[in-house]
Amino acid sequence: AHSPTTITITGAGGQIGYALLFRIAAGDMLGPDRPVRLRLLEIPQGVRSAEGAALELQDCAFPLLHSVDVTDDVGRGFHGADLALLVGARPRTAGMERGDLLAANAGIFGPQGAAIAAHAADGIQVVTVGNPANTNALIARAAADGVPAERFTALTRLDHNRAVGQLAQQLDARPDGIRDVTIWGNHSASQFPDVSHATADGTSVPALLAERLGPEAAAQWLDDVFVPRVAKRGAEIIEVRGSSSVASAANAAIDHVRDLVRGRPVDAGWTSAALVSRGEYGVPEGLVCSFPVRSDGSGYQVVEGLDLDGRARARIDASVAELVAERAAVQELGIL
Ligand code: NAI
């Protein structure tokens, strides 16, 4: 039997936290054979909400749930953590400049990175969900002296799953028959959802689209409907639901961690995650950028060697330029 995995969830008293905790405790993330200890790290204003969730967790009597602790102490929060889900972040409020947003989040993710280096278990895996997710992960990593870069990832799986969902609908296909979609770049409106290598039930997605819509209309659908719809889906959800994506974000975080630690079957194709670049596809080293990735259960690896046409190259370069600008803005603040 496995010994319990200690999982720290920041912002656990928030909306995504509430959608995540019960699924983690039920075994959806690590599997039915892995007991968990949950550490809910909040700021003082969020502690009561996290404590309420902890009471409800107790009321579920989950067999896999060994303990739940709520704290607003960063050091205690990460003590012995095997896995950290960094969900709590400072949201952009009206009139806030990008620099203010990055500075406010650096004040969260810097100290958390340092606390992870000081207190977490040696094998810690750190997954950043809170926005701006890529740059928050970059900041946490920079502050986490001695923790290997490959232990830091950021969530673009929600964008990936959204892209798969859109294709499934357009092609009348089942989502699990759709393989090898890629989200490149930043988890922002500049991201590039790329279907050029994708297949549906073994047939090329671009070929299927051309067959259904005609070649010109297919190209147009990709550029004018699919890409913006996926990239701006968060805004569409807010518009329709009156509240941001919560259950789907929690679901994506669960998918991300499950593939990361349990591995992803080779015949399921690749997925997408933001990793610390080692220069793959010309992305500057050290940026946290979304790539096509596989996992054998020991972390994500970038799928290398894919052909990129001019359209893909230009869109990836544009999103990477945004990541470079975010990094530069953080550096200007004296944070990196
Ligand atoms: P929320 O506002 O409901 O919850 C955030 C929680 O974080 C609050 O309880 C707050 O008290 C807590 N918090 C703030 N600063 C903290 C700190 N320093 N330490 C610990 N906890 C802290 O927000 P929600 O809906 O749960 O979203 C959380 C984050 O996830 C947001 O930044 C959102 O933009 C991001 N997000 C990312 C997605 C992705 O695909 N990467 C998708 C959807 C949301």
- Within this chain, do residues 234 and 161 fall inside the same structural domain, yes or no? yes
In a domain, 237, yes or no: yes
- CA gap 56, 78 in Å, rounded: 22
234 token code pair: 């968060």
- Regarding beta strands 300-302 and 288-295, do their DSSP bridges make them parallel or antiparallel, or are they unpaired? antiparallel
pLDDT of residue 61: 98
User: Given 94, 120, 153, which residue is the final one in a domain?
Assistant: 153
Q: Which of 127, 153, 179 is the last residue of a domain?
A: 153
Residues 6 or more apart in contact with residue 7 via CB below 8 angstroms: 24, 36, 37, 38, 39, 81, 82, 83, 84, 85
Given the residues 79, 160, 187, 256, the one annotated as active site: 187
Prediction pTM value: 0.98
Q: Is 113 in the pocket of ligand 1 (CB under 6 A)?
A: no
- One domain, residues 131 and 28: yes
Distance 11 CA to ligand 1 centre (A): 6
Q: What's the total number of domains in the chain?
A: 2
Please say if 197 is a catalytic residue.
no
For residues 30 and 100, membership in a common domain is answered with yes
If asked whether residues 140 and 46 sit together in one domain, one would say yes
* pLDDT band at residue 98 under the 50/70/90 scheme: confident
Residue 286 lies in a domain: yes
Q: At residue 289, does pLDDT exceed 90?
A: yes
Contact of 105 with 91, CB cutoff 8 Å: no
Distance CA 167, CA 229 (A): 11
Residues 129 and 10 in one domain: yes
97 band by pLDDT with thresholds 50, 70 and 90: confident
Predicted local confidence at residue 89, as pLDDT:
97
Do residues 71 and 195 both lie within one domain? no
70 lines ligand 1 (CB under 6 A): no
Domain presence at residue 200: yes
Is 335 part of a structural domain of the chain?
A: no
* Whether residue 321 sits in one domain with residue 226: yes
For a substitution probing ligand 1, which of 8, 10, 16, 76 has the most ligand atoms within 8 Å of its CB?
16
Whether residues 136 and 167 fall in one domain: no
Last residue of a domain, one of 99, 119, 153: 153
On whether both 318 and 180 belong to a single domain, the answer is yes
- The binding site for NAD(+) comprises 11-17, 105, 112, 129-131
pLDDT digits (tens, 9 = 90+) for 244-272: 999 999 999 999 999 999 999 999 999 99
Ligand 1 center to 39 CA (angstroms): 16
Atom of ligand 1 nearest to the CA of 154: 41
The boundaries of the domain holding residue 91 are: 5-153
